[in-house]
Amino acid sequence: MSKRGIYSESRIEKLNGLPLLQKGEDKIHEVFEHQLTFQTSIVNECLTEEEQKTLYMLMTKLQKNTESKMEN
């Protein structure tokens, strides 16, 4: 994908990802709304409101744990 101009191969210390070039940023913006709509419809169709709150709480906990590990 770097040959297609989507990301840069430059290395940044402790970075778990790839720096996007403009073409990559454009692609993210192109697909984001569709993906968000798709994921939202799946959650809304499958989970009750209480299950959605629990999922949010668990995802928040995982995110905070991930952020703390990345800081170290």
Contact 44, 56 (CB under 8 A): no
Residue 38, pLDDT score: 95
* H or E segment and range at residue 7: none
Domain count, the chain: 1
Query: What pTM value is reported for the model?
Result: 0.56
- Residue 64 predicted with pLDDT over 90: yes
Can you spell out the DSSP letters for 19-54?
A: -B-HHHHHHHHHHHHHHHHHHHHHHHHHS-HHHHHH
Please give the residue range of the domain that contains residue 47: 2-71
- Residue 39 predicted with pLDDT over 90: yes
